[in-house]
Each structure stands twice: as C-alpha cells, then as structure tokens.
Amino acid sequence: MFYSPTFGSAVSILRKYIVYIVQLYREKSRRRLRRRLLLFVLCLFAAAIFWMLNVLGRTYRFEIKAPLIFEHVPPNKALNIRDSRQVKLIVEAPGWNFIRSRLEFLNEPIHIDLGALNSENRIDLNTNLESLNAQMPTRTRVIGVEPRILEFSFEPKAFKKVPVKLNLETSFEAQHDTDGPTVLVPDSVTITGPVELIKRISDWPTKLIVLNNLYENVDQEVELLGNDHLNLQLSHTKVRLMMPVEKYTEGEVEVPIQARGFLNIGAVHLFPSVCTVKYQVSLHYYNKVKPQDFTVIAQPSPFGSGQLDVDIADSPSYIRYPRVYPQRLDYILQK
C-alpha cells in the first residue's frame, strides 16, 4: 500500500489534536476534583464549627477545686482551720467554662470574709453561695460546696525564724565543681501561725532544683516549698541561690616529711625525706599553692610493719582530694 507524504502529515496532526484534547479533559477533571474536594473540606469545617458552638453553648454541671483565702482575721490572732486547704465547688456553666476549668483557668482562690460571720467558729459555705457566685466568671453558678462546713478557731499568733533547707541536685561538666560555699539569701524564713503548729517546724525546704552540666557560677531565684497549712504564713516565698563554679586541674608539690611519734630516743633519718603531694585545685587558686601550705608527717604504723606511715596533717582549704606519695617509707633511728 502507498501513503503519500500529505496523508502522513495529516495523520500526525490528527494524533496530536487527539492527545491534546485528552490532556485538556484530564486537566479539567483534576480541577473539578480539586474544587469539589476543597468545597467538601470547607463544608466539613463549617459543620464542625457550628457543632462545637452548639455543644459548648449548652450548660453543664461539673466540679472544680479552689483554694481558700481568709480575710479580716483579728489582729494578733492566728487562724486555725481544721479542714482542707481547698474546697470542691459544684458549678453549672457553659461548655466554654468547662474547658477553662480543665485548663485550670477557673481555679482562682475563693475569698472568705471572717469579719461578716457571727461568733460561731464555723462556716456553712452552702449558706454563702451568693458571695461565692459573686466571685465566679460570667454564666458560672455555684450550686454546692464540699466540704459544706469549715470549722476554725482563733489562737494566739506566734512567730518563728527557721533556716531554709536547700533541696538541690547538681551535675557538672568535666573538670568543673563548686569553688566555695553555696549561699542562700536570705538563709531563713519567718513563719507566723498558731503556737502548737509552729513549734513542730525546725526548717523550711525549697522546691527541688535540678541543675545539670554546670560550668559557670549559679545566681538564680529559688521558690520555697508550697505552704500546705492554711494556718501558716511565710515572710517570703523565694530566696536567691548563689553557688560558685570553677574549672579544676591537677597540681603537685614536693613537701618535706616530718617524723612524729619518736620521743627523745635519738635522731630519725627518713628515706625518702621528701614526698610528692598531688591534689585538685581551681584555676583561680592554682598559682597560690605553695609547699609550705602542707604539713606531711611520718609515724610508726599501728600494724608494726617496720615502716612509717605517711599522712597529710594539714593542707589549704581551697584544694581537694590531696594524696601523698609514697604512703610508706623506711627509716633509720640513730641513738
């Protein structure tokens, strides 16, 4: 069969048009699919929003915990509460407030005015719901309180100053350590409260502080442990922690050895008469260490080994881990 060049060109052009039409159809199909998918997602999102608004707009009954703050305590008196530091409030509120309560945005303190009470040393919180509701957010209503009754008494107020106990865990980078005492400012706290309660307290701890990989001085605020007693007040709730941190290195000096434990029985000749003392010291004090800062003694061994034990009797306070070499030596006693 014979095909002319003109016929072959027409077939090629027709094929290109068919491919172009198919691609165009596919592209339009993709666009329609994307538009439909986007429209579906928008509708689903709008439905979810309307559903959430409807659900959270309803009123629910749930419980929240609230700390108590007592106001207008008589001067020179300490309040002694026999019940919990917190109360459980049963409230009715929209769903939005329920979510806030789960996030603890509603757990604000409840203020109790002791000046408005009669002479009875008890509070019936269920009879004071109007006062409690006045402290609640909008559309939140307290319908019950547990415990319902709080019993209290007024006792003579006492003051006691106790040391702050540091609760600290540390780790240091290689060759680093503390280079002096750890200081708290202030190092004590004044406690106010009933005599019987205060006399059982000997110190007040801080919250646990964990400091890892230290390589420089520490200077930061530390919170005191929370006051779990309704009847106690602290003069302050924070102290400042200051701890010097330095890089340490190895040092050594040659120190003469002094013989001890030989009472007027002749001259003692030590072999060797000089020892090596090795130690760790901060870079700050490295050039300050001198042989005369050490006292090294040799004395008869309590085990009667025929040699003298070598010990460090005195060393500078700013070095650590001193070791002496040799630890035993020979001697000759010349009478």
Q: How far apart are CA 318 and CA 246, in angstroms?
A: 12
Q: What is the DSSP string of 7-34?
A: HHHHHHHHHHHHHHHHHHHHHHHHHHHH
pLDDT on residue 193: 83
11-15, 63-67, 120-124, 215-219: which has the highest mean pLDDT? 215-219
Query: CB-based contacts of 243: which residues, under 8 Å, 6+ apart?
Result: 170, 178, 182, 183, 217, 218
Q: How far apart are CA 165 and CA 224, in angstroms?
A: 9
CA distances to 151, 314, 324, 325 from 279, rounded to whole Å, are 63, 13, 9, 11
Identical fold between 59-154 and 157-246: yes
Letter for the amino acid at 125? L
pLDDT on residue 66: 79
| Banded model confidence at residue 36, pLDDT cuts 50, 70, 90 | confident
Instruction: Select from 95, 116, 115, 117 the least CA-distant residue to 106.
Output: 95
237: its two tokens: 């709730």
Q: What are phi and psi of 222, to 5 degrees?
A: -130, 130
Residue 1 reports pLDDT greater than 60 = no
Instruction: Select from 161, 167, 160, 162 the least CA-distant residue to 223.
Output: 167
CA distances to 97, 104, 154, 215, 272 from 251, rounded to whole Å, are 66, 56, 64, 20, 21
Q: How far apart are CA 295 and CA 315, in angstroms?
A: 7
The pLDDT tens digits of the residues spanning 287-315 come to 999 999 999 999 988 776 778 999 999 99
Q: Which of 155-169, 276-290, 293-307 has the lowest mean pLDDT?
A: 293-307
Residue 236 reports pLDDT greater than 80 = yes
Q: How far apart are CA 116 and CA 124, in angstroms?
A: 13
Topology of 59-154 in CATH?
RNA Polymerase Alpha Subunit; Chain A, domain 2 (2.170.120)
Scan for tokens 């919990």, then name that residue: 84
* % of the chain residues with pLDDT over 90: 36
Asked if 324 contacts 310 with a C-beta cutoff of 8 angstroms, the reply is yes
- Domains of the chain by residue range: 1-56, 59-154, 157-246, 247-334
Task: Encode 17-49: b = buried (16+ Cβ within 10 Å), e = exposed.
Answer: eeeeeeeeeeeeeeeeeeeeeeeeeeeeeeeee
327: its two tokens: 């630890």
Number of C-beta neighbours around residue 140 at 10 A = 21
Three-class SS of 62-115? EEEEEEEEEECCCCCEEEEECCCCEEEEEEEEEHHHHHHHHCCCCCCCEEEEHH
Please, which residues bridge with residue 295 across strands?
314
52-56, 86-90, 151-155, 319-323: which has the highest mean pLDDT? 319-323
Q: What are phi and psi of 116, to 5 degrees?
A: -90, 0
Architecture of domain 157-246: Beta Complex (2.170)
**Ramachandran sector of residue 19 (left: φ over 0; alpha: ψ -120 to 50; beta: rest):** alpha
State the CATH class of domain 247-334. Answer: mainly beta
pLDDT on residue 53: 67
Asked if 150 contacts 125 with a C-beta cutoff of 8 angstroms, the reply is yes
Q: pTM for the whole thing?
A: 0.59
